[in-house]
């Protein structure tokens, strides 16, 4: 029997032909709207795909991410849950602004045009969004709540302004948060970041460092392990002690942080970050010119140069001595750039014998290296390798002979007793720098008044809307373009009414994305950022789908916001995303797609060629969700073929029904063998989807299609001789229906076509997920593998209920076993009924 001969199906199936038809029907049906009815008995499920940045049309990466999210969302819909699956746009940001400068237009033009393009693409891509909740962060109705939240943070001391070293991107002409600097480069444009001293707004995320760390335990097992790990590393908690050193010529002692207070006797010099005002303070007057020259030199270095560990360690002696508090020994004070100004206190006690960085400095400048922990390893002064392991304290007065842990406890106790220090914790995490010197973002709702200083804009004056700037007005000048908008900047002080000026910076766009998942719950609320009642119903997000590139930035910030909102009493949970799955990247020929490599693949083109269903299926089938997909390795045409096979099963059933009159066949009857396959498929696909093994789920569907095909063809071949079930068999219809519903997770158009062919309406989206009949999952015979010394020598068909004794006897008599044994002595028989027997022979 061949396709060409088949009387059942003459026409060919092209999945591209049915897309428009179903888009129109779905728009009418609106099947995915989440219900807010508190009386709705369905279990709620909240699934969020990370919202896109509207940089143009959707691309291959979006196609993968949303195919995964949509499959899961549709699964929960079909399981009868009240699913919230919203979409929005991360619509503020630099590219819009740069486009506006190029085109002499307003960033909003570019932004909203791209959003419309993407929205249309999402509809074509058949993603099951609740479109009524769509949000865009550049809408004043959205960003006014950024401002509202900023003011609440401000009231709590969590938003504050301070001067200090910041990361400045010379291309984008704005400051960046620490998290946005990757290997010393701007994460957006790749330019080398330089350090500048500026007064900026910060969110006090460091105050939440411990909670961010502790609550990560709740996410264990539900978030990818590496994301949790990256967050833990980023927060970088270290335990140690603060030690106060008196310094000649200064009244106040200088505090240092150390993780190794046990090595205090080994401190042979003292270093302060050269570019900290403290360095000048500590410097002997005659050494000042030298220090200043050095600092000048340091400033010229980029962060990349400065942080290179191979570089010779430079520094200058400040002509002063600090007093080691445990032995009153004077140690020289140096200024150097290997000590960072913004970690710990910006000053350290240097223990060259037991710290590699300090050792490098000591060797470069001829400073003493004194071993105080005997680790049994070679002398660091000779070997050039600091010893950091366990050992016994030596040269350390009262703590001699103790081990590392004992010594840390002892020294800490001594310091505390004498008021010279205490146990302390330090974090690598810095406060989140949120102000930006660019236009297309949320204005910071603060007014600067000559007499009242910082004055919050009153809530009833929110939103502070952006002024109407466009084109050249937006050129980066090192200060925010907002500063040039005189009409906008000059306002009466909300407190005293005298002339004052608005803060001209805008917020980091990561502020927008730190709480959008709550806004989705009541996106049209005009009185507050979100309705706590509704958020309580939906949130936290049950499933969050997005790329691992946000492992630190967005996810850390969103967790931070959630904790603040919890503290404000607006949420009753402390973690925003219960479960997280990362999708991999779509690459091409082994590399990320890029214009410069010319290996880009256009999503729209792929869809034109193969249709939406085939592209979605390609994404899902290629690999597990978290793995990268190399587009050079996949064959969308194979998916087109598969879809046509599925369709042909449904079409054959429909044709057989038409020939036989109205199908009266009873459910639950028909070919038993096919029914078993169908129900096993239901069972397995359900389990696989629950475990996110979507690629394997598709493989199971392919097997079901093959089984259905065989059942149909064998019946046709028989022609009255009743050799096989044929297309009219109820089991075949059952298989086709199950197939349509299960397939709808991945290929909604084809699923709809099949569902319709099988006589159902209006949409497979309103179908129910099938339940496997347990009776059909039990096999009446099982293949038992019989091994001799671990090698398969025979196979037996046995009933699943076979006893150990019976199976043992059968196995020992199996021909393959007898042949292999060839009279050898059987020393042991391991029987695992009903699937395996292993015979151990001499």
Partner RNA sequence: GCGGGCGUGGCGAAAUCGGCAUACGCGGCAGGUUUAGGUCCUGUUGGUGGCGACACCGUGGGGGUUCGACUCCCCCCGCCCGCACCA
State which of positions 615-674 bind RNA (CB under 7 A): 621-624, 627-630, 633-635, 637-638, 641-642, 644-645
Torsion sign, CA atoms 704, 709, 714, 715: positive
Interactions with RNA, residue window 348-387 (CB under 7 A): 348-349, 351, 355-358, 360
CB of residue 37 vs RNA: minimum separation in angstroms?
A: 37
Which residues ranging from 219 to 248 are in contact with RNA (CB under 7 A)? 225-226, 229-230, 233-234, 236, 238, 240
Yes or no: say if 641 and 702 are a contact pair by the CB < 8 Å rule: no
Residue 313 binds RNA, judged by CB under 7 A: yes
Q: What is the dihedral of CA 591, 594, 598, 602, to 10 degrees?
A: 100
Helices (H), 250-320: 277-282, 288-300, 303-307
CB of 410 to RNA, least distance (A): 17
Q: Least separation, in Å, of the C-beta of 128 and RNA?
A: 24
Give least dist CB 714 to RNA, A.
Answer: 11
Residue 29 burial (10 A CB sphere; 0-12, 13-18, 19+) = middle
- Please state, in angstroms and rounded to a whole number, the distance separating the CA atoms of residues 465 and 147: 10
Q: Which residues in 532-561 contact RNA (CB under 7 A)?
A: 552
Please pick, from the candidates 451, 594, 706, 803, the single residue that binds RNA as defined by CB under 7 A: 706
* Residue 761 touching RNA (CB under 7 A): no
Measured from the CB atom, is 59 or 709 closer to RNA? 709
Nearest distance in Å: CB 808, RNA: 13
Q: Which of 789, 801, 804, 813 binds RNA (CB under 7 A)?
A: 789
Instruction: Closer to RNA by CB, 101 or 349: give it.
Output: 349
CA distance linking residue 504 with residue 464, whole number of Å:
11
Among 155, 186, 152, smallest CA distance to 172 is for: 186
Q: Which is nearer to RNA, 160 or 343 (CB)?
A: 343
Nearer to RNA, 388 or 495 (CB): 388
Q: Considering the rule CB under 7 A, would residue 818 count as an interface residue with RNA? A: no
The site string for RNA over 148-187 (x = CB under 7 A, - otherwise) reads: ----------------------------------xx----
Closest separation between CB of residue 230 and RNA, Å?
4
- Complex with RNA: residue 344 or 476, whichever CB lies closer: 344
DSSP reduced 3-state for 606: helix
Query: Per CB under 7 A, does 801 bind RNA?
Result: no
Stretch that binds RNA, among 301-309, 444-452, 533-541, 659-667 (CB under 7 A): 301-309
Task: Quote helix, strand, coil % in the chain, to nearest 5.
Answer: 45, 20, 35
Per CB under 7 A, contacts with RNA among 676-705 are: 687, 693, 695-696, 698-699, 702-703
Least distance to RNA, CB of residue 350, Å = 7
The residue among 99 and 694 lying less far from RNA, judged by its C-beta, is: 694
CB-based contacts of 366, cutoff 8 Å, min separation 6: none
Footprint of RNA on 264-283 (CB under 7 A): 273
Site size with RNA, rule: CB under 7 A: 91
Q: How many residues does the chain have?
A: 842
Nearer Cβ to RNA, position 1 or 767? 1
Distance, CA of 797 to CA of 835 (rounded, Å): 10
To RNA, the closest distance from the beta carbon of 303 in angstroms equals 8
Give yes or no for residue 425 binding RNA (CB under 7 A): no
Give the span between the Cα atoms of 8 and 652, in whole angstroms: 5
Torsion sign across C-alpha atoms 341, 342, 346, 348: negative
Of the candidate spans 191-199, 413-421, 501-509, 833-841, the one that interacts with RNA by CB under 7 A turns out to be 833-841
**Residue among 108 and 619 whose Cβ is closer to RNA:** 619
DSSP letter string, 356-379: HHHHHHHHHHT------EE-SSPP
DSSP class per residue in 157-208? T-EEEEEEEEEEETTTTEEE-GGGEETTEETTT-PBPEEEEEEEEEE-GGGG
C-alpha to C-alpha distances, 363 to 271, 355, 600, nearest whole angstrom: 14, 12, 51
Nearer to RNA by Cβ, of 165 and 573: the residue is: 165
Angle at 184 between CA 179 and CA 186, to 5 degrees: 65
User: In the set 35, 297, 594, 783, which binds RNA (CB under 7 A)?
Assistant: 783
Q: Which is nearer to RNA, 127 or 256 (CB)?
A: 256
Q: Name the minimum Å distance from CB 539 to RNA.
A: 28
Residue 2 vs 526, nearer CB to RNA: 2
DSSP secondary structure of 7-18? SS--S---GGGG
Give the list of residues 6+ apart from residue 327 with CB closer than 8 angstroms, or none. 265, 397
The Cα 823–Cα 34 span in angstroms is 71
Count Cα neighbours of 580 within 13 Å in the Cβ-side half-sphere. 26
Query: What pairing do the DSSP bridges indicate for beta strands 580-583 and 543-547?
Result: parallel
**Which residues from 707-726 bind RNA, rule CB under 7 A?**
709
Residue where the block lists tokens 């910060």: 202
Surface-to-core class of residue 27, CB atoms within 10 Å of its CB (0-12 exposed, 13-18 middle, 19+ buried): exposed
String marking each residue 19-48 x if it binds RNA according to CB under 7 A? ------------------------------
Binding residue for RNA, selected from 337, 512, 613, 737, defined by CB under 7 A: 337
CB of 156 to RNA, least distance (A): 26
Nearer to RNA, 356 or 375 (CB): 356
Each residue of 734-773: b (16+ CB within 10 Å) or e? bbbbbbbbbbbbbbbbbbbbbbbbbebeebbbebebbebe
Beta partners for residue 245, in sequence order: 254
Report H helices in 623-670.
Answer: 636-660
Q: Which is nearer to RNA, 635 or 824 (CB)?
A: 635
Residue whose CB is less far from RNA, 240 or 443: 240
Minimum separation from the CB atom of position 397 to RNA (A): 20
Residues 5-24 that bind RNA (CB under 7 A): none
Whole-number minimum distance, CB 121 to RNA, in Å?
A: 25
Nearer to RNA, 361 or 538 (CB): 361
Instruction: State which residue, 758 or 817, has the beta carbon closest to RNA.
Output: 817
**Span from 32-40, 54-62, 342-350, 526-534 in contact with RNA (CB under 7 A):** 342-350
């Amino acid at each position: 029997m061949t396709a060409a001969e088949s009387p059942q199906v003459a026409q060919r199936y092209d999945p591209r032909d049915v897309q428009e038809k179903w888009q129109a029907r779905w728009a009418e049906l609106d099947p995915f709207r989440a219900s807010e009815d508190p009386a709705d008995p369905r279990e709620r499920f909240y699934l969020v795909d990370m919202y896109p940045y509207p940089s143009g049309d959707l691309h291959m990466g979006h196609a993968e991410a949303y195919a995964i999210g949509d499959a899961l969302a549709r699964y929960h819909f079909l399981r009868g849950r009240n699913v919230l699956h919203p979409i929005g746009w991360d619509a503020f940001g630099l590219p819009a602004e740069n486009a506006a400068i190029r085109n002499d237009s307003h960033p909003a033009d570019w932004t909203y045009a791209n959003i419309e393009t993407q929205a249309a693409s999402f509809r074509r891509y058949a993603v099951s969004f609740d479109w009524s909740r769509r949000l865009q962060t550049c809408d004043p109705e959205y960003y006014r709540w950024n401002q509202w939240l900023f003011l609440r943070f401000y009231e709590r001391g969590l938003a504050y302004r301070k001067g200090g070293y910041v990361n400045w991107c010379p291309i984008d002409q704005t400051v960046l948060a620490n998290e946005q600097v990757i290997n010393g480069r701007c994460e957006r444009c790749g330019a080398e970041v330089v350090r500048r001293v500026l007064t900026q707004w910060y969110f006090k995320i460091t105050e939440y460092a411990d909670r961010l760390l502790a609550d990560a335990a709740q996410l264990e097992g539900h978030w990818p392990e590496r994301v949790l790990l990256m967050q833990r590393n980023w927060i970088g908690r270290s335990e140690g002690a603060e030690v106060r050193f008196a310094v000649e010529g200064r009244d106040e002692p200088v505090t240092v942080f150390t993780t190794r207070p046990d090595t205090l006797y080994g401190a042979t010099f003292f270093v302060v970050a050269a570019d900290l005002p403290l360095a000048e303070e500590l410097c002997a007057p005659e050494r000042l010119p030298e220090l200043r020259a050095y600092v000048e030199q340091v400033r010229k270095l980029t962060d990349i140069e400065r942080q290179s560990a191979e570089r010779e360690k430079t520094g200058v002696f400040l002509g002063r001595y600090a007093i080691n508090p445990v032995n009153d020994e004077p140690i020289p004070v140096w200024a150097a750039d290997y000590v960072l100004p913004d970690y710990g206190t910006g000053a350290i006690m240097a223990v060259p014998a037991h710290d590699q960085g300090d050792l490098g400095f000591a060797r470069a400048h001829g400073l003493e290296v004194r071993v105080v922990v005997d680790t049994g390893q070679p002398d660091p002064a000779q070997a050039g390798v600091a010893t950091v392991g366990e050992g016994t304290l030596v040269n350390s007065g009262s703590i001699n002979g103790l081990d590392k842990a004992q010594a840390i406890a002892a020294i800490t106790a001594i310091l505390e007793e004498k008021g010279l220090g205490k146990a302390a914790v330090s974090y690598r995490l810095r406060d989140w720098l949120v102000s930006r010197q660019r236009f297309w973002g949320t204005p910071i709702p603060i007014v600067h008044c000559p007499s009242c200083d910082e004055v919050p804009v009153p809530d009833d004056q929110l939103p502070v809307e952006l002024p109407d700037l466009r084109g050249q007005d937006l050129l980066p000048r090192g200060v925010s373009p907002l500063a040039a908008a005189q009409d906008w900047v000059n306002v009466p002080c909300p407190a005293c009414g005298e002339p004052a000026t608005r803060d001209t910076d805008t917020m980091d766009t990561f502020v927008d994305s730190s709480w959008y998942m709550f806004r989705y719950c009541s996106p049209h609320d005009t009185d507050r950022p979100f309705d706590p009642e509704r958020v309580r119903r939906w949130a936290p997000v049950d499933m969050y789908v997005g790329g691992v590139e946000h492992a630190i930035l967005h996810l850390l910030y969103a967790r931070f916001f959630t904790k603040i909102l919890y503290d404000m009493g607006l949420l009753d949970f402390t973690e925003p995303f219960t479960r997280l799955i990362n999708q991999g990247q779509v690459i091409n020929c082994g590399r990320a797609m890029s214009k410069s490599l010319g290996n880009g693949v256009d999503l729209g083109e792929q869809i034109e060629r193969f249709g939406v269903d085939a592209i979605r299926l390609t994404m899902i089938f290629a690999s597990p969700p978290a793995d990268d997909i190399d587009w050079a390795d996949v064959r969308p045409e194979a998916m087109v073929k598969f879809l046509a096979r599925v369709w042909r099963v449904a079409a054959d059933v429909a044709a057989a029904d038409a020939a036989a009159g109205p199908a009266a066949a009873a459910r639950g009857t028909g070919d038993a063998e096919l029914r078993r396959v169908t129900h096993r498929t239901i069972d397995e696909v359900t389990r696989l989807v629950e475990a996110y093994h979507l690629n394997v789920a598709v493989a199971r569907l392919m097997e079901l299609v093959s089984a259905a095909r065989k059942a149909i063809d064998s019946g046709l071949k028989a022609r009255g001789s009743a050799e096989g079930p044929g297309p009219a068999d109820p089991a075949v219809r059952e298989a086709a229906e199950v197939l349509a519903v299960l397939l709808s997770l991945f290929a909604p158009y084809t699923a709809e076509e099949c569902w319709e062919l099988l006589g159902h309406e209006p949409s497979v989206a309103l179908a129910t997920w099938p339940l496997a009949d347990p009776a059909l999952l039990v096999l009446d015979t099982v293949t038992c593998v019989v091994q001799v010394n671990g090698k398969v020598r025979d196979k037996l068909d046995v009933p699943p209920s076979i006893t150990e004794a019976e199976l043992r006897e059968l196995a020992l008599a199996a021909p393959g076993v007898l042949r292999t044994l060839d009279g050898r002595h059987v020393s042991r028989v391991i029987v695992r009924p009903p699937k395996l027997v292993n015979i151990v022979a001499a």
